Amino acid sequence: MFRTLRTAMRDTPLSAAQIEVLAKANQMASAGNAAGAAPLFAEVAHELDAPRPRRAANLHARAAHAYADAGRPQLALEQARAALNLFIQYQMADRTPVFYANITRKFNNKGMTGAATAIQNEFGGKVGSLPVPSQAPARPAAKRGVLPTNCPKCGGPIHSDSISWVDNQTVECEYCGALIRSTPNR
C-alpha cells in the first residue's frame, strides 16, 4: 500500500520553495541576468547535494555556466568542480564529457584561462578515462511526439541530448524531476 505512495513521491523530491527558486533562476537566466540566476542555481544545487546528487550535479553545472556568464571565474570554478565531482562519482557518462568540454570552452572564450586550466588539470585525466557512453539507438521521434523547450514546472531547458524518457510520451526534468508529457505529432 505504501509502495505506490513512495514510488510516486520519488519523482517529486523538490519542495515548492525550491521549485520557486529554480523557476526564478531560469527566468533570470533567459532574460540575460546571469549574475542574478547563478547564486539561485547554486543554492538549490547545494541543498540537493546529499538527497538528489544527480539533480544537484545538473544544477551545479547551470550555476557554473551562469557564474562564468556573469564574469565570476572563481565562483564558476567552484560550481564546475562540484558538478564534475558528482558527474564522475555517479557515473553520468553522457553528461560528464559534454559539460567538461562546454565549460572549458566557455572559460577560454571569456578569457578565464586560469579556471580553464584548473578544470583541465584536475579533471582532464578522469574525463578522458571514462568509458565511452553507450549510444542507445534513438527511438523514432514520430512515436514520441514533441517536447516543450522548457520544463513547465521549473523553467529549466529540456536538452534533447540528456533527457531520460520515462515512457513513450513522458520525460523527467533533469533539474526538478517533474514529469513532462510530449505532444503527439500530427
Which DSSP string corresponds to 7-28? Answer: HHHHT--S-HHHHHHHHHHHHH
Smallest gap from Cβ 12 to Zn ion, in A, equals 11
Asked if residue 56 binds Zn ion (CB under 5 A), the reply is no
User: Contacts with Zn ion in 102-161 (CB under 5 A)?
Assistant: 151, 153-154, 156
Smallest gap from Cβ 148 to Zn ion, in A, equals 10
- Give me 131's grid cell: 568509458
Burial 4-40 (b: 16+ CB within 10 A, else e): eeeeeeeeeebeeebbebbbebbebbeeeebebbbbb
Asked if residue 180 binds Zn ion (CB under 5 A), the reply is no
Smallest gap from Cβ 151 to Zn ion, in A, equals 3
For Zn ion, which is the closer residue by CB, 43 or 122?
43
* Residues forming the site for Zn ion (CB under 5 A): 151, 153-154, 156, 173, 175-176, 178
